[in-house]
Amino acid sequence: MKIVIPARYASSRLPGKPLADIAGQPMIRHVWDRAVAAVNDPADVFVAADDARILKVVEAFGGQAVATREDHTSGTDRIAEVAMLRGWADNEIVVNVQGDEPLIPPALVRLVGDCLARHPAAAMATASHPIRDAADILNPNVVKVVTDNTGFAAYFSRAPIPHHRDGDGPDPERFPYQRHIGIYAYRVATLKALTALPPAPTEQMESLEQLRALWNGLKIMVEAVADAPPAGVDTAEDLALVRSIMEQGQ
């Protein structure tokens, strides 16, 4: 199993985010450390970036940095380029760990990669956790997933799915609504296929890249976990929270 960490310098909400200092280290170092803990071998972890500043920092702490093109529209495209540059076999499993997840549990990374390895019929694997607050079910920023009875994803949506026709609203006590966790494991063959396909209509409507796979008949296995992982860093407020947590050694 390989891990690729796509990292962009030009974040619209927090420019230079991967290099933001957290407890004396750049954020990308914290992500890399957790990725290494997931596979126990630094040789299987790669940071993919299009900015020389990120590449230089990664190389300085001994990480493997891969220079990728500047015109990628998604992390999946960037990861696919790494797989191509490295010549990985089609059946190699690659886990996408976002470069703004300095608190991601290594166990979750391993779990998603192992999930894909256990399910040869799956093209991808991801994760979910129960939604306990009805307000989150209605929140379009909380992505929901519904699976079939074998754990394969039926659909991902920003809408409250499934819809309870005869109820007053979504009730997590009545149905086990699941929130999607944005971590993915792919086979290299899947990366090649997805990046060669045009965006799907559902993907464009929902702004959810994983719907391209479902639209084209690729199966996604969803590993359910009990609790949500710690939040990533999207904003300055998120960064301040993560700094506080890590400086306290939690």
Q: What is the dihedral of CA 27, 66, 185, 37, to 10 degrees?
A: -50
- This prediction has a pTM of 0.92
- Confirm whether 1-104 and 119-231 share one CATH topology: yes
Using alpha carbons, list the distances in angstroms from residue 226 to 88, 108, 223.
33, 11, 10
> Is the pLDDT confidence value at 136 over 70?
yes
Which residues, including other chains, have CB under 8 Å from residue 196's CB and lie 6 or more apart? none
- For residues 171 and 134, the answer to whether their CB atoms sit within 8 Å is yes
Q: Where are the beta strands (DSSP E) in 84-177?
A: 93-96, 124-130, 144-147, 153-157
Closest CA to 203 of 213, 217, 191, 189: 213
Do the beta carbons of residue 96 and residue 198 sit within 8 Å? Answer: no
CATH number of this structure's domain 1-104: 3.90.550.10
Residue 250 confidence (pLDDT): 52
Q: Is the pLDDT of residue 225 over 60?
A: yes
Mean per-residue pLDDT for 120-147?
A: 96
Query: What separation in angstroms does the CA of 189 have from each of 20, 105, 210?
Result: 34, 26, 15
* Per-residue pLDDT at 168: 77
What local confidence, expressed as pLDDT, does residue 173 receive? 85
Element (H, E) at 35: helix 27-39
Q: Where are the domains of the chain?
A: 1-104, 119-231
Write out the two tokens for 4. 């690729």
Pairing of strands 64-67, 124-130: unpaired
DSSP secondary structure letter of residue 180: E
Q: Which CATH number fits domain 119-231: 3.90.550.10, 3.60.40.10, 3.90.10.10, 3.40.50.620?
A: 3.90.550.10
CB 1 within 8 A of CB 44: yes
